[in-house]
Amino acid sequence: MDVNLVPLLPAVQVLVTALVVTLRDLFIKDGESRGVLAFYSLVGLGLAAAEVFFLLGGRQEGAFNDSYMLDRFALFFALIFILAAALTILSAIDYVRQTGMREGEFYALILFATVGMIVMAAANDLMVFFLGLETMSIAVYVLTGMWRSNGRSSEAAMKYFLMGAFATGFLLYGIALIYGATGSTNLAQISAYLLDQPSEWPVYLIGGGFLLLIGFAFKVGAVPFHFWVPDVYEGAPTPVTGFMSVAVKAAAFAAWARILLYKLSPLDNDWVFPLWIIAIATMTLGNLLAITQHSIKRMLAYSSIAHAGYLLIPIVVGVEWGGLPLLFYLLAYSFMTLGAFAVLTSMTEGDESKDGYSDFAGLGFKRPFLALAMALFMLSLAGFPPLAGFTGKFYVFRSAVLSGHLNLAIIGVLNSLLSVIFYLRVIVAMYMEEGGAAGKSFRQAPFVYIAVAIALLGTIYLGILPADALDWSRRAFGSLE
């Protein structure tokens, strides 16, 4: 069999980096600096990004009988994953040392998870998708529990593992049912089957679709499958929380977009209404519960639920209008959320995560740059122009209006109004209150500052000059076939 290996390049690049990091780690004695491992990881990710850009120029190719398609869509998401992994590693360098986690394993697991995500985004076959999902999930389960001396972290890992296993069950059962109905796990063939035989679908095909939907809803943390999110996000080490709320969510949405939104779009009519309710419930509940939190980390967990709700709007809107806003919003969301978690990471003092509102009090005068960045991330998350979050929300709501879901747009806008209450509280604490934790100076944690600066640049750039990124998003979604 003639196998075209070119499309595998980015994933293999990250995988090899992960292996190199794991092996190199074995040859560093205890007590010696392991900084080189972070350096290897970042170089590997940089190379992978370069390959992605190189492949963007060429034509899109499939491997293994087209069960793995590295089209523009997959490349777009690969970039988001690589960005998220790189920023997570940058912001974790000081954090990992300080909390006494194993550095080698930490970086390697982030890289393994990234491999799984790239595979998920490129999967054109339900089995390949499942493979990617498990590679990602298992790595993230371990990452959640990496802070072994901390009880919350272990508890979070256990919860996440159990919930994740549950979701996996749903997904696998859904895949089985769809295979039973269509006779294939290849998305192209499933899609062809759906188009050939409209309306003669067996009940269990639709059931299978719904099981997939529930599995995805678990993974993105949509209401009513969101119960694990706050506890897991709060317990996990802060950089991992950022990674989970951006990369894992983006991976799940990538698969959701390719499989349910695009390939299984003939089934749309069956799940538009449930999804409509899920989207509204996710936004509203996420925002309402975020208001009542005392910890910023937990607030960000609920806010990430709410953002999953906004991201569901393009999926409800459907394949015609939803593609571009979904991709662009994910990109915008990645920058601002990673930035916010990087700032949160820099607040950690020894064993304490210092993530309460009261810990942020007076930060505006103690660490002007971190506070300014945090303020801009919060405003961007709340949807203020001219920042990335506003542009993203604008296109999401625009797509809702264009497709006739005016109610969804209005509820979404009202929700972002609601969200201002808790995002603003962070700013109030930073600039209008006093006391609180000290935060780290540039000298104490230079890499966090770099991560924050990168995220800040992205947030501002996407807000002021979104034209290029919009064009990439449009072409990325257009490349699905």
The residues of the shown chain that bind other proteins, judged by CB under 8 A, are 365, 379, 384-386, 390, 397-398, 401-402, 404, 406-407, 409-410, 413-414, 416-417, 420-421, 424, 428, 431-432, 466-467, 470-471, 474
- By beta-carbon proximity to other proteins, the closer residue of 31 and 435 is 435
φ, ψ dihedrals at 145, nearest 5° = -95, 15
Q: Return the ∠ at Cα 329 (arms to 123 and 293), rounded to 5°.
A: 110
Q: How near is the Cβ of 384 to other proteins at its closest, in Å?
A: 6
398's enclosing H/E stretch is helix 388-402
Q: How near is the Cβ of 57 to other proteins at its closest, in Å?
A: 22
Which structure tokens are listed for 420?
A: 């201002």
| Chain position carrying tokens 């190719």 | 61
- By beta-carbon proximity to other proteins, the closer residue of 28 and 424 is 424
Q: How near is the Cβ of 223 to other proteins at its closest, in Å?
A: 23
Q: How near is the Cβ of 403 to other proteins at its closest, in Å?
A: 11
DSSP labels for 82-113? HHHHHHHHHHHHHHHHHHT--HHHHHHHHHHH
Q: How near is the Cβ of 428 to other proteins at its closest, in Å?
A: 6
Q: Can you count the helices (H) and strands (E) in the chain?
A: 20, 2
Q: How near is the Cβ of 292 to other proteins at its closest, in Å?
A: 17
Chain center to CA of 235: 18
Instruction: Return the closest-CA partner of residue 85 out of 17, 29, 148, 31.
Output: 17
CB neighbour class for 32 (10 Å; exposed up to 12, middle 13-18, buried from 19): exposed
- By beta-carbon proximity to other proteins, the closer residue of 64 and 431 is 431
φ, ψ dihedrals at 300, nearest 5° = -65, -30
Contact status, residue 247 vs residue 117, Cβ threshold 8 Å: yes
- By beta-carbon proximity to other proteins, the closer residue of 43 and 421 is 421
Q: How near is the Cβ of 311 to other proteins at its closest, in Å?
A: 19
Contact status, residue 206 vs residue 199, Cβ threshold 8 Å: no
Contact status, residue 327 vs residue 256, Cβ threshold 8 Å: no
Q: How near is the Cβ of 358 to other proteins at its closest, in Å?
A: 15
In 256-346, where does DSSP find H-type helix? 268-291, 296-317, 323-346
- By beta-carbon proximity to other proteins, the closer residue of 87 and 370 is 370
- By beta-carbon proximity to other proteins, the closer residue of 164 and 362 is 362
- By beta-carbon proximity to other proteins, the closer residue of 264 and 371 is 371
Whole-angstrom distance, CA of residue 256 vs CA of residue 252: 6
DSSP labels for 362-387? THHHHSHHHHHHHHHHHHHHHT-TTS
Whole-angstrom distance, CA of residue 340 vs CA of residue 162: 28
| Chain position carrying tokens 């304490």 | 352
Q: How near is the Cβ of 279 to other proteins at its closest, in Å?
A: 17
- By beta-carbon proximity to other proteins, the closer residue of 173 and 384 is 384
Number of Cβ within a 10 Å radius of residue 183: 11
Q: How near is the Cβ of 370 to other proteins at its closest, in Å?
A: 15
Whole-angstrom distance, CA of residue 166 vs CA of residue 423: 32
- By beta-carbon proximity to other proteins, the closer residue of 50 and 432 is 432
Number of Cβ within a 10 Å radius of residue 442: 13
- Phi-psi region for residue 303, left (φ > 0), alpha (ψ -120 to 50) or beta? alpha
Q: How near is the Cβ of 14 to other proteins at its closest, in Å?
A: 32
- By beta-carbon proximity to other proteins, the closer residue of 127 and 465 is 465
- By beta-carbon proximity to other proteins, the closer residue of 164 and 383 is 383
| Chain position carrying tokens 């007076």 | 362
Instruction: Return the closest-CA partner of residue 304 out of 285, 327, 325.
Output: 285
- By beta-carbon proximity to other proteins, the closer residue of 145 and 362 is 362
- By beta-carbon proximity to other proteins, the closer residue of 281 and 402 is 402
Q: How near is the Cβ of 412 to other proteins at its closest, in Å?
A: 10
Q: How near is the Cβ of 253 to other proteins at its closest, in Å?
A: 23
Contact status, residue 392 vs residue 459, Cβ threshold 8 Å: no
| Chain position carrying tokens 């089934």 | 267
